[in-house]
């Protein structure tokens, strides 16, 4: 009988919060720059739909609808041969990837062109497990809101995608000034942690 490999436990790094505070200014500049990125107009090996909230009744949030709609449009334009739907369920099924697949199918993306990544619970996981599904992909289109692009692009490179490209989408949250600023500030803090060596 082969025993299971021991789980990898990351120890808390007490210096991480202090390093993250030092990275806040650079992270803010990076995120703000990301909010002004235009969508890449070239072809890619794959389209990755980053996970977003699924409502308690199993319906997609406005963010998830916008991301799936953009991915379907890119697929039908022939920008990439495959779409990766990412994200596990959080409190109860269905998960983000499953709901995204449902939206893609409704938009006439063939099931054979959809890959499901159902393990992840954050952006780093979305991209890490997507990399496992796309071991030879170099250029990928990352579909998400503008406030999220800088962190997504940085994390994509970290997990081994050498040429990630942005595809910003306008969701209901991005269209509401309060939510736009709230989510932008949240991503600045998250990116500061990434820059400081956290995930």
- For position 107, what pLDDT does the model report? 98
Q: Is the pLDDT of residue 22 over 70?
A: yes
Helix (H, G, I), strand (E, B) or coil at 192: helix
Q: Is the peptide bond before 94 cis (omega within 30 degrees of 0)?
A: yes
Q: Is the pLDDT of residue 45 over 80?
A: yes
Contact 156, 128 (CB under 8 A): no
Q: How far out from the chain centre does Cα 192 lie?
A: 17
Q: What is the DSSP string of 74-105?
A: HHHTTS-S-EEEE---SSSSSPHHHHHHHHHH
> What's the CA gap between 170 and 154, in Å, rounded?
21
Helices (H), ranges, the chain = 16-34, 62-76, 96-106, 123-133, 146-158, 172-175, 177-195
Contact 54, 183 (CB under 8 A): no
Reported pTM = 0.91
**Domains along the chain?**
23-195 (3.40.50.620)
Token digits for 187? 């991503």
- pLDDT tens for 146-183 read 999 999 999 999 999 999 999 999 999 999 999 999 99
Sorted by sequence, the CB contacts under 8 Å of residue 28 that are 6+ apart come out as 188
């Amino acid at each position: 009988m082969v025993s299971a490999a021991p789980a990898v436990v990351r120890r808390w790094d007490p210096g991480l919060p202090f390093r993250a505070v030092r990275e806040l200014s650079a992270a803010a500049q990076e995120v703000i720059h990301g909010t002004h990125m235009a969508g890449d107009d070239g072809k890619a090996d794959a389209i990755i739909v980053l996970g977003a909230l699924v409502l308690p009744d199993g319906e997609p949030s406005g963010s998830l609808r916008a991301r799936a709609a953009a991915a379907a449009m890119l697929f039908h334009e022939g920008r990439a041969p495959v779409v990766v739907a990412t994200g596990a369920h959080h409190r109860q099924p269905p998960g983000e990837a499953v709901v995204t697949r449902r939206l893609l199918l409704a938009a006439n993306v063939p099931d054979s062109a959809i890959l499901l990544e159902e393990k992840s619970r954050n952006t780093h996981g979305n991209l890490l497990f997507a990399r496992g599904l796309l071991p030879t992909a170099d250029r990928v289109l990352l579909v998400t809101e503008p406030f999220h692009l800088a962190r997504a692009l940085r994390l994509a490179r970290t997990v081994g995608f050498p040429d990630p490209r942005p595809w910003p989408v306008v969701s209901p949250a991005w269209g509401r000034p309060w939510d736009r600023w709230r989510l932008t500030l949240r991503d600045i803090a998250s990116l500061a942690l990434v820059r400081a060596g956290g995930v």
